[in-house]
Amino acid sequence: MPIRVLIADDNRPFRRGVRLRLQSTAHIVVVGEAGTGTDAVAAALAERPDVVLMDLEMPGMNGIDATRAVVAASEGEIRVIAVTSHGEDHLVRRALAAGASGYLLKTHDSAQLVEAIRAAHRGDALVSSRVTRSLLAEVAQRRVTDDDRARLASLSPSEIRVVQLLSNGVTSNEQVAAELVLSVNTVRTHIHSAFKKIGVTDRTQLALWGVRLGVELDSRL
């Protein structure tokens, strides 16, 4: 099955350029375009793409609010890649907090674009080390709540270990599987089970939750 992509950007020539590049790529199909955040949400819910390329600065509803709406309405089934002109860390952090799976600069080449779409579709995070460090510093300062502790208590020992590895920077299912001596399919099952129990929709959000739990997460091992 091809990966279905929606392009949301107020710059029509940019949308056209992205569409042309993707049209020549096997297993990826563009199912629609949107020029505003409001239109992006409507198109995403109508077309149900696998991945949305979401410009963060659009008129009316901005890309951050549109990302939050798409992720919430689809319960995380639609992956969103935040697209920025200059890699503004504050915008990227807000987009990730809204549920984006990662981000992509508008200066990307075709290979980076395709890999970003494929990575988002398979549930991998796409965040630069610079933004990750900044985001983790913010998250580490947030208070652990009783709800967090209740969610932690609901995890199995294997799920806790998986969350810990993700929060320590292990990014791929293959790496987690090798560390825990498990099959990749079993790791994938643990990750998706943790998504449901914690109430997140992707690996980035799960890893950030693990960072915030910190010592309490470690104490369960």
pLDDT of residue 28: 95
Q: Taking residues 79-95, report their average pLDDT.
A: 81
- Looking at the structure, tell me whether residues 43 and 103 fall in a common domain: yes
- Looking at the structure, tell me whether residues 130 and 147 fall in a common domain: no
β-bridge mates for residue 29, sequence order? 4
pLDDT of residue 131: 60
Comparing 19-23, 51-55, 199-203, the range with the smallest average pLDDT is 199-203
The pLDDT-based confidence of 134 (bands split at 50, 70, 90) is low
Q: Taking residues 210-218, report their average pLDDT.
A: 75
**Of 136, 164, 193, which residue is a domain's last?**
136
pLDDT tops 90 at residue 69: yes
- Looking at the structure, tell me whether residues 125 and 26 fall in a common domain: yes
Q: Taking residues 83-93, report their average pLDDT.
A: 77
CATH number assigned to the domain comprising residue 175:
1.10.10.10
Q: Output the average pLDDT for the chain.
A: 86
CB of 47 within 8 A of CB of 2? no
pLDDT of residue 133: 57
User: Domain residues for 197?
Assistant: 143-219
- Looking at the structure, tell me whether residues 25 and 118 fall in a common domain: yes
pLDDT tops 60 at residue 128: no
- Looking at the structure, tell me whether residues 64 and 164 fall in a common domain: no
- Looking at the structure, tell me whether residues 82 and 22 fall in a common domain: yes
pLDDT tops 90 at residue 173: no
- Looking at the structure, tell me whether residues 111 and 166 fall in a common domain: no
pLDDT of residue 110: 87
Q: Taking residues 178-182, report their average pLDDT.
A: 92
CB of 91 within 8 A of CB of 101? no
The predicted model scores a pTM of: 0.70
Structure tokens at 204: 């980035």
Look at residues 85, 45, 81, 39 and name the one whose alpha carbon lies nearest to residue 62.
Answer: 39
pLDDT of residue 138: 65
- Looking at the structure, tell me whether residues 192 and 148 fall in a common domain: yes
pLDDT tops 60 at residue 96: yes
CATH number assigned to the domain comprising residue 121:
3.40.50.2300
Question: What are phi and psi for residue 87, nearest 5 degrees?
Answer: 70, 35
